[in-house]
Amino acid sequence: MNLPKYAYFKNKIVPYAEAKVGVLTHALNYGTGVFGGVRAYKNDDDGNLYLFRPYDHYKRFLNSCKMMLMDFDETPESMTQHTIDLIRKSGFREDVYIRPLAYKSDEIIGVKLHDVGADFTIVALPFGKYVSNDTNAHVTISSWRRLDDNVIPARGKISGAYANSAFIKTDAMRSGFDEALVLTQAGHLSEGSAENIFMVRDGVLYTPAVYENILEGITRRSIMEVAEKELGMKVVERPIDRTEIYICDEFFMTGTAAQVTAITQVDHRPVGDGVMGPVASKLRELFFDIVRGKNPNYKDWNVEV
C-alpha cells in the first residue's frame, strides 16, 4: 500500500512522515483509541469528489470519543472541514477512504480512561474494494463471539475491540471464505467483522437491532431508508437466528468499506438461488448512484470536496 503524502495531525496538515507517536502511547498499548471510516466518491459527470454522510460519521466518531472520555473542541462540521482540507491538499481526484483516529496520546503506564491526554488524526488514501467478491461473497459463521456491550461496547468503534474483528476475519480468510458472520453471546447473528448484515425473507428486509452488539452503521441506516423509500420494502429490526440464513431468499452486508456486498454462500450452502438476488442488486445500483452524488433525492447525504 502506498503511504499518503499528508496527514492531519496535532491540529494541522503535515507530511505523513511527521505524523508519528512514541511506543509508550497509551492507545498503542491499551487499545484506547476510537476510529472512523468515511469514503469520498468521484462523480465522473461533474468531476467532483463527494464525501458520503460525513456529518453522521463524525457525530458517531465524537460520540465514541465521549464514551472513552476524550473531549475535543470539535464538531461534525469542523471535522468534515479538516477532511476536506486534507483531501484538497493531497490533490486526490479519485475515490478515497478517510480514516479519522482519536487516541489516548499520553506516554504513560496505567490502564484507565480518566486523566489521560488525547489527540486525533485524519489520513486519506485512494481506495477501491474492501471485499473483492462483492457480488458473490462466501461467508462462514465464526467460532468467535461478538463483544458484548458490557465487555467493550460495539457501538463505540473502539480500537481495542477490533482485535475481535481481526480474529474473526483471519480465521475466515484462512479457511477460504471472504468474510465471517459473528454471533452474539445469546447466539443470534450480530454482524460481519466490519459490516452490518441484512436478510430478505418473503419480501421483508430484516437486520439485527442495535441491541445485538452491532456497530450502528451509517451504511446500514442509509440502506434501511433507501429500501423503504425506493423499493417500498418493510424493514424490520429483530434478532436473526443462524439457520434463518440457510433458508432465506437473500443475504447481504453493508459498510463504508464493504459498501453493499451480496453474500451467495453461507457455510458452503447457497443463499437463495446461489447468485446475487434482485433486492441486493437493486440496492447496490441505488447505493452507488447515491454515494456518487447522482441521485437528486439524496443530495443532502453528499458533501462536495
Residues 76-135 close enough to bind ligand PMP by CB under 6 A: none
Q: Considering the candidates 157, 229, 234, 282, report the single residue annotated as catalytic.
A: 157
C-alpha cell at 154: 460495539
Compare residues 155 and 294 and give the one whose CB is closer to ligand PMP. Answer: 155
**Binding of ligand PMP by 196 (CB under 6 A):** yes
Compare residues 53 and 138 and give the one whose CB is closer to ligand PMP. Answer: 53
Stretch of 8-16, 84-92, 166-174, 189-197 lying at the interface with ligand PMP (CB under 6 A): 189-197
Compare residues 106 and 159 and give the one whose CB is closer to ligand PMP. Answer: 159
Contact 86, 6 (CB under 8 A): yes
**Binding of ligand PMP by 217 (CB under 6 A):** yes
Stretch of 75-83, 194-202, 271-279, 288-296 lying at the interface with ligand PMP (CB under 6 A): 194-202
Stretch of 84-92, 188-196, 272-280, 295-303 lying at the interface with ligand PMP (CB under 6 A): 188-196
The Cα 97–Cα 123 span in angstroms is: 8
Q: Tell me how far, at minimum, the Cβ of 233 lies from ligand PMP, in Å.
A: 19
Stretch of 95-103, 128-136, 210-218, 225-233 lying at the interface with ligand PMP (CB under 6 A): 210-218
35 CA to centre of own chain: 10
Interface with ligand PMP (CB under 6 A), residue from 116, 172, 183, 194: 194
Collapsed DSSP state (helix, strand, coil) of residue 35: strand
Number of H helices, E strands in the chain: 7, 17
The Cα 276–Cα 264 span in angstroms is: 6
Stretch of 25-33, 84-92, 130-138, 192-200 lying at the interface with ligand PMP (CB under 6 A): 192-200
Binding mask 5-44 for ligand PMP (x = CB under 6 A): --------------------------------x-------
Strands 137-145 vs 49-52: parallel, antiparallel or unpaired: unpaired
- 232-250 core/surface letters (b: 16 or more CB in 10 A; e: else): ebebebebbeeeebeebbb
C-alpha cell at 177: 471464505
HEC string of 57-79?
Answer: HHHHHHHHHHHCCCCCCCCHHHH
Residues 245-284 close enough to bind ligand PMP by CB under 6 A: 254-256
Strands 38-42 vs 49-52: parallel, antiparallel or unpaired: antiparallel
**Binding of ligand PMP by 54 (CB under 6 A):** no
User: Does residue 59 carry a catalytic annotation?
Assistant: no
Interface with ligand PMP (CB under 6 A), residue from 42, 104, 169, 220: 220
The Cα 249–Cα 242 span in angstroms is: 14
Contact 198, 240 (CB under 8 A): no
C-alpha cell at 75: 464538531
The Cα 146–Cα 152 span in angstroms is: 10
Interface with ligand PMP (CB under 6 A), residue from 219, 261, 264, 265: 219
Compare residues 225 and 273 and give the one whose CB is closer to ligand PMP. Answer: 225
Strands 137-145 vs 179-183: parallel, antiparallel or unpaired: parallel
Compare residues 32 and 165 and give the one whose CB is closer to ligand PMP. Answer: 165
The Cα 129–Cα 74 span in angstroms is: 30
If binding means CB under 6 A, how many residues of this protein chain bind ligand PMP? 14
- Tell me the catalytic residues: 157
Q: Which spans of this chain sit near ligand PMP (rule: CB under 6 A)?
A: 37, 165, 191, 194-196, 215, 217-220, 254-256
